[in-house]
Amino acid sequence: MKEFPIVQLDGFFLLDAADLVAARDKSRIIHRTKDIDASGDEVEIAARSSLQRHLPNGCHVSHGHVIDSSLRTSPQLDVIISDASVTPVLFRAQNETEYLPIESIFAIGEIKSTYNKTSKPIQSFVSTITSLKSEFQRKPAPPTYLQTGGRGVDVEFIEQSDKKLQNPLFTFMLFVDSGDFSPEDVAAIYCDTKIEFLPSIVCLLDKGLIVYGGITEKGFGFVHSPEAETKIPDSYDWAFFPLGEDAPNMGAHYGFLCYTILAHIQESVLLLPKMQTYLGRMFVGRKSKTVYMKQVNPLSDSEA
């Protein structure tokens, strides 16, 4: 019997990881010129371009702000992954910064060139996640919700999913260089923060990953959106783990991140933004200047 070759997917992702490392090196050179914005853009642009290549055509990868129907606006986000088929871009600036409705967002991400514990990057992102998930209006898609390609329908008593909700907001961080990271330095925030406000996954490209998982009979298992799961093994918790037998494997780490985002997208069902609500709050008319164009004595067909 003919033997088929086994593809080493981490080798392909290693090439992507090398591109990110090259972008980091460029950013360091630019940073020495004191152009901080351009320095940060190098890594972020490379990461967004790479993610767009690995995600389905129906996904839109951008950066900017998410807005809810009350017009609350998030801080600047390095990566926003949305449903390209239904996502209206409310506004796009000259530098490609976009403003997008929160209902049509699959995931948001933070990209960093190097981990620096003094700047507390994970804690800062947790603050952003907390405000988005606790203050912004994003109606949950229940297990009984069925997307029909248009409005969707809630099919009572017939669960379409085994999750608590079908549209959890996925959040992730990517550090190209792990810098002075150590699991012990972030243990406190993972112990003290509610599970839904922590990043779904943190990828330290040259060191390892932080996910919600644990050891099972089949090896290391994990869930990508723990706040949405109904059945999680008791052994699961937030854990840091590196991939690679002899040394950390950057390709495997990056591939794990990309496929985790992809798995989340495949399992998600988004609710459509109600544009009438957005429009009603974005464009407010002046009642005192409103003129109603009424027909006083419309002619009947016989009189016309």
Dist. CA 55–CA 52, nearest whole Å = 5
* Strand intervals (E) in the chain: 59-67, 77-83, 91-92, 97-101, 105-114, 145-146, 153-154, 170-177, 201-204, 208-216, 219-223, 237-241
The tokens of 174 are what?
Answer: 């990517």
What was the pLDDT predicted at 44? 95
Across the chain, mean pLDDT equals 88
The tokens of 11 are what?
Answer: 């080798």
Q: Exposed, middle or buried: residue 179 (CB in 10 Å: 0-12, 13-18, 19+)?
A: middle
The pLDDT tens digits of the residues spanning 207-226 come to: 999 999 988 777 788 999 99
The pLDDT tens digits of the residues spanning 222-236 come to: 999 999 998 888 889
For the chain, which residues make up each domain, given as ranges?
9-289
Residue whose C-alpha is closest to residue 41's, from 106, 108, 81, 97:
97
The tokens of 97 are what?
Answer: 């910064």
Question: Maximum Cα–Cα distance for the chain, whole Å?
Answer: 92
Residue 179 to residues 28, 50, 64: CA-CA distances in angstroms? 14, 22, 26
What DSSP element (H or E) covers 177?
Answer: strand 170-177
Say yes or no to pLDDT of 37 above 80. no
The pLDDT tens digits of the residues spanning 63-112 come to: 999 999 999 999 999 999 999 887 778 899 998 999 999 999 999 999 99
